[in-house]
Structure 1
Amino acid sequence: MTKIIPPPTPPDSMHDLIVDVTSLKEVMELSIKSDAIDVGKWVSWKRHLLKYNELARIYRDHSGERIPVFGGEEKEIPPNWIGQKEIFEKTYASTVELYGKLTRRKPTPAIAGLENLLHPVIQQVSMKHYNNGDFRNSVVDAITSLFDKIRERTDLKTDGPILCDSVFPIDKALLIFSEIDSESGRNDQIGHMEILKGFYRGGRNAHSHSLIHNLDAIKAAQYLVLASLLMRRLIDAVPRPPK
């Protein structure tokens, strides 16, 4: 006699869906952060993909919003761990996007009024991504805009720490944050140069080279606030007077 397995019972509320998506996201992040070797690290790809598809369909049916649901990969076994990792990463990125859609439906008090804290330039380049739950691109674009502003003000073409080393050192500063004739002014100059370099390395580089990230609404908001502070300082900085 064939045993009939009933389909999984869908969550009966949006709250339950948020709980399930959050759980899937956290379980996948445990795999990402594990010390297991690659050949065995991504074998859970199929289970996660099927779970994501289930939750994405529930969200689609509940909200009427179009959202990716994967097809052939759920049946085809990748030939090696590289293929498994690619599917795992795609599933994780979609899970994070779904998580963002769900959590922004009811903003948390911690990020209420966020736009009031942001510089207009950061609002323009980042808030559309942020409001869509695309926290990764909201952060990457905010940091990119900082270095676009440095290039705009100096006509230099380099990027990242190399650009900072050409613009802000005391002995050859092209832009000055306050003044460099006092110890406190020099500390301000070098300190903000180092913050910009670290922000590029730890923020932009860390998030632009992979779809995998641990950003959520609050973490991304904190990046955007820091980007806004730095954007204000860059716009207020004055060119070094000619000798």
Structure 2
Amino acid sequence: MPFFLRTAHIQRRCEQFKKNRVSTKIKAIEGSVLEGLSKTLGDTERGLSGTEIGKFLAEVQIPDWDSTNTKWRRLYNAFVEHQNKVQYSNRILKFINKSMNPARFVGKQEEFEFLRFELNKRLCFISLELTESGKFTKTNVAKTITDAEQRANRLKNKLEQRNTHPTIFQYCEAELLADNYFHTVFEATKSIAETIRNRTGLTSDGAELIDSAFSIKNPLIQINDLENDTQKSEHKGFANLIKGVFGMFRNVTAHAPKFIWEMDEIDALDILSTISLIHRKLGVKTAHNNV
């Protein structure tokens, strides 16, 4: 190829490269979303440390000009100053990618999931979602707070990962959207009695309902054929399991104030998994009601 043609070819390639660089610029993130992202990343208990903030800001070449401020304000001011200067958000998103690299959270999955879900509540307002791999994927933009909460809800997502029985989702829609452990458990335990009444036509509650529904001599609900002592023992044990769930979780949550009867996420997940098992044993087939 003649020299002048090679030169022209190189110039065209350079121009195309510049165009590609321009086309990959991601528009600026609005202030309210940027503030929410900063507060999540700078969370006092589970967010980045001051050292980590400085490290990742340096790596993505965002000036750390307010390093003496609180963590989230330090981040927010750095992000805003940089974005106002360049008018796009690539380096801010790169900061999130680097700080949320799953390799950093080996042995700390709970911390990773907390940050990821909280970030996604904000990112969905700019059509982005942070995946389990720590990378972004495009999504439909959220238009309301409810929409954002629904997409990023932690408790619901973890229950889905456990293949939780669909009745739990049907009875606890509002509570799951609010990550409300206390009232989710309360509503879920009530769903057991309601399901048994619907199956049997009985109108009683508590131990009386269970004794009538799971009577050995005249059972209205059976979990096996009741043909031998082993099966009868399993049937009685299942009935006692339901009574135990009522006594320990439904009755307590019905009468104790939330601030007295504390419940964390791990307890809620384990209790809800037990209730899910009960529904599976009851053989109730309910279409999954997405919430």
So what's the TM-score if we normalise by structure 1? Answer: 0.52
1:124 to 145, 158, 170: 170
Q: C-alpha offsets along residues 83-136 of structure 1, whole Å, 9 cap, x if unaligned?
A: xxxxxxxxxxxxxxxxxx9996279x9996421421111122225413312111
- Alignment coverage as a number of residue pairs: 148
1:226 to 258, 274, 288: 274
> How far apart, in 1, do the equivalents of 2:160 and 2:40 lie?
26
> How far apart, in 2, do the equivalents of 1:177 and 1:222 lie?
22
- 188-197 or 177-186: which moved more? 177-186
> How far apart, in 1, do the equivalents of 2:262 and 2:216 lie?
36
Larger relative contact order, structure 1 or 2 (CA cutoff 8 Å, min sep 6): 1
> How far apart, in 1, do the equivalents of 2:216 and 2:277 lie?
21
Percentage of pairs with the same residue: 25
Q: C-alpha offsets along residues 31-57 of structure 1, whole Å, 9 cap, x if unaligned?
A: xxxxxxxxxxxxxxxxxxxxxxxxxxx
Asked if 1:235 is matched to 2:283, the reply is yes
Q: What residue is the counterpart of 2:182 in the other structure?
A: 136
Q: Any stretches of 5+ residues in structure 2 without a counterpart?
A: 1-37, 47-71, 77-113, 120-151, 286-291
Asked if 1:176 is matched to 2:222, the reply is yes
> Highest Rg: 1 or 2?
2
Q: C-alpha offsets along residues 149-175 of structure 1, whole Å, 9 cap, x if unaligned?
A: 100011111111110011112123211
Q: What residue is the counterpart of 1:195 in the other structure?
A: 241
> How far apart, in 2, do the equivalents of 1:18 and 1:203 lie?
32
> Following TM superposition, where does structure 1 have runs of at least 4 consecutive aligned residues deviating by more than 3 angstroms?
12-20, 101-104, 109-113
> How far apart, in 1, do the equivalents of 2:239 and 2:174 lie?
28
Q: Given that residues 147 and 159 in structure 1 are in contact (C-alpha distance below 8 angstroms), is that contact kept between their aligned partners in structure 2?
A: yes
1:4-153 equivalences in 2 (<5 Å): 13-14=39-40, 19=45, 105=118, 113-116=158-161, 117-153=163-199
1:166 to 212, 217, 225: 212
Q: Any stretches of 5+ residues in structure 1 without a counterpart?
A: 1-11, 21-57, 63-100, 238-243
Distance 1:181 1:208, change over 3 A: same
